[in-house]
Amino acid sequence: MGFIDNHILSLMTFLPVLGAAAILCVPRGKDDVIRWIAAAASFLPLVLSVKLLYAFDRSVAGVNVAGQFQFVEHYSWIPSINVEYFLGADGISMPMLILTALLSFLAVIGSFGIEKKVKGYMALFLLLETGMMGVFASLDFFLFYVFWEVMLLPMYFLIGIWGGPRKEYAAIKFFLYTLAGSVLMLLVLLALYFNTTNPETGGHTFNLLHYMAQSTHNGWLKGFDVRILLFLGLFIGFAIKVPLFPFHTWLPDAHVEAPTAISVILAGVLLKMGTYGLMRISFPIFPDVTRWFAVPMAVIGVINIVYGALCAMAQSDLKKMVAYSSVSHMGFVMLGMAALTPTGMVGGAMQMFSHGLITAMLFFLVGVVYDRAHHRQIDGFGGLGAVVPVYTAFVSFAFFASLGLPGLSGFIAEQMVFLGSFDVFRTIVVIAALGIIFVAAFHLWALQRVFLGPLNPKYAALEEINAREVFCLAPLGIIVMYIGVWPMPVISLMNSSLVHLVDLVKAVI
């Protein structure tokens, strides 16, 4: 077991891609073999993530302290330019690693219904999982960037080949937006590389922890104007991924056209990478600019909340509504983070985790009805509650979780965000709190139009949700409920790291 314990993060990252390689060797036509290999290749990281959860020491912070990272793997990769293979986990990355492992496995199971080019689909999906795990495990900026970009290609094909009617447009739009963000990140990465020195070797470095120690910065990098530029470069790169207003326009297209399981991954994991990047990279490296930019970030967060909710309300397509609800919910993350208080920060991170679960449920559920009715027009249904009661129960549960019903995880997260940010930006928080009304409104209104009222006779024989679909939804529902009642296990997972992060950002340099 020594090997597994020493390389647990590497295994979580690369087992999926090994599975992809195995799938490519399976002869054409054996679709079931391919599906089960994919399931196994995504199940193993999930098992490892549970092991990770039990082995994780919740008392140490990590963030910028090299000695406090856990499950560390640190090797030299390209010595001539000091690229390192540096993986490690702390309270910021732990929830994300677990979320990624869980959603990836469920998404593979949810994709068992795919009949077209199964081999390519599963291979690309597993490659995508490797990219996601790698992003959350990397502590070397170069490595982080490579994993970040590795996700683009599979995502392009997964949307472009298996997507809906406007898949080609959606796929290239997603690709171009994200690449535009990443080249900005690349320039910042290079600027950081050349203007910092590794205190141990005296050479340049890609190690994120060295960047966080401000003493490694040279004179140029200490200039506040320069720091603002670099921070904004990174911020735009991450904001496109979140996506924050006004960079969100790729999201409705990509989420709506993507196949169900890919929408789940997009909304459940990929969006979180933007805010994760801010926490992992931007905030600790540029604490001074973070404080300077806190109010604009809060304002952007509120715009996301209100604007996203209003857009969601205006949609006639159920999936598009869910997509815009993500815009709104990610605004809470941004607001909580911008407050720079421990409660706000934990609330934001909690919202990342909770939204990952809830939105995954929502997209799965939209996929269920689309598979049967072949459309998603909210006004095209009516009275489904009488025909498919179990499905209706699941949708109601997910909708209530999404609108922040007390007792479910979304409520905890949003309350912590409000508590943490109210003292810092009162007006902004009041507006955000009013935004909750819109959030509740579009959920309830949609629920009413689809499930209540007179039955649309076209769907009198609609098939009830099946066992495989319940298998994807039930674990998510249980966790949402569990956290809603007893959030401590998740909070304690990230608390030390996030409190330390807030201290780090608040400390004057």
Partner 1 sequence: MFLGNLGSLRYFLPEIAVTATILLLVVLHVASNRRTSAAPALLSLLGVGTAILLVGVSPAGGGKSIFEGMAAYDGFAVFFKGLTSLATVVVILMSMDSTELAGRSQAEYYIFLLATLLGMFLLSSATDIVMVYLSLELVSIPSYLLAGYLKGKEDSVEAAMKYVVYGATASGVMIYGFSLLFGLTGSTQIAEIGRSLVAGKATLPMLLAAVMAAVGFGYKIAAVPFHMWSPDVYEGAPTPATAFFSIGPKAAGFAVLVRFYYTVFASPTPGTGIWHLTTSVDWPLLFAVLSALTMTVGNLVAVKQNNVKRLLAYSSIAHAGYMLMGFVLLSSAGIEAILFYLVVYLFMNLGAFYVVVLVGNGTKGEDIADFSGLGSRAPFAAVSLAVFLFALTGIPPFSGFIGKLYLFAEVIHRGVYWLAVVAALNSVVSLYYYARIVKVMFLEEPKDTAALPVPAVTRAMLVLLVAPTLILGVYWEPVARIASNSVKMLAF
Chain residues binding partner 1 by CB under 8 A are 77-81, 145-146, 149-150, 152-153, 156-157, 160-161, 167-168, 171-172, 175-176, 179-180, 183-184, 186-187, 190-191, 193-194
Residue 75, beta-bridge partner list:
85
Quote the least distance from Cβ 229 to partner 1, whole Å: 9
Q: How far is the CB of 410 from partner 1 (least distance, A)?
A: 35
**Which lies closer to partner 1 via its Cβ, residue 195 or residue 421?**
195
94 versus 186: smaller Cβ distance to partner 1: 186
3-state SS string for 320-350: HHHHHHHHHHHHHHHHHHHHCCHHHHHHHHH
Of 183 and 390, the one with the shorter C-beta distance to partner 1 is 183
Nearer to partner 1, 134 or 348 (CB): 134
CA atoms within 13 Å, Cβ hemisphere of 297: 30
To the nearest whole angstrom, how small is the minimum distance from the Cβ of residue 175 to partner 1?
6
Q: Which is nearer to partner 1, 178 or 341 (CB)?
A: 178
Cα 436 from chain centroid?
Answer: 21
Rounded CA-CA distance 287/278 in Å is 11
Read off the DSSP letter of residue 267: I
Residue type, 259: P
As measured in angstroms, the least distance from the Cβ of 78 to partner 1 is 5
Task: Output the smallest distance, CB 241 to partner 1, in A.
Answer: 15
When the beta carbons of 234 and 428 are compared against partner 1, the nearer one is 234
Minimum separation from the CB atom of position 162 to partner 1 (A) = 10
Name the residue among 291, 345, 324, 316 with its Cα closest to residue 499: 345
Containing 12, the helix (H) or strand (E) segment is helix 8-25
Secondary element (H or E) of residue 426: helix 426-451
Give me the least distance between CB of 181 and partner 1, in Å please. Answer: 10
- Rounded CA separation 13/31 (Å): 24
Question: What is the C-alpha to C-alpha distance for residues 159 and 170, in angstroms, rounded to an integer?
Answer: 7
Q: 163, 170 in Cβ contact below 8 A? A: yes
The answer to whether residues 198 and 150 touch, using CB atoms and an 8 Å cutoff, is no
Nearer to partner 1, 61 or 171 (CB): 171
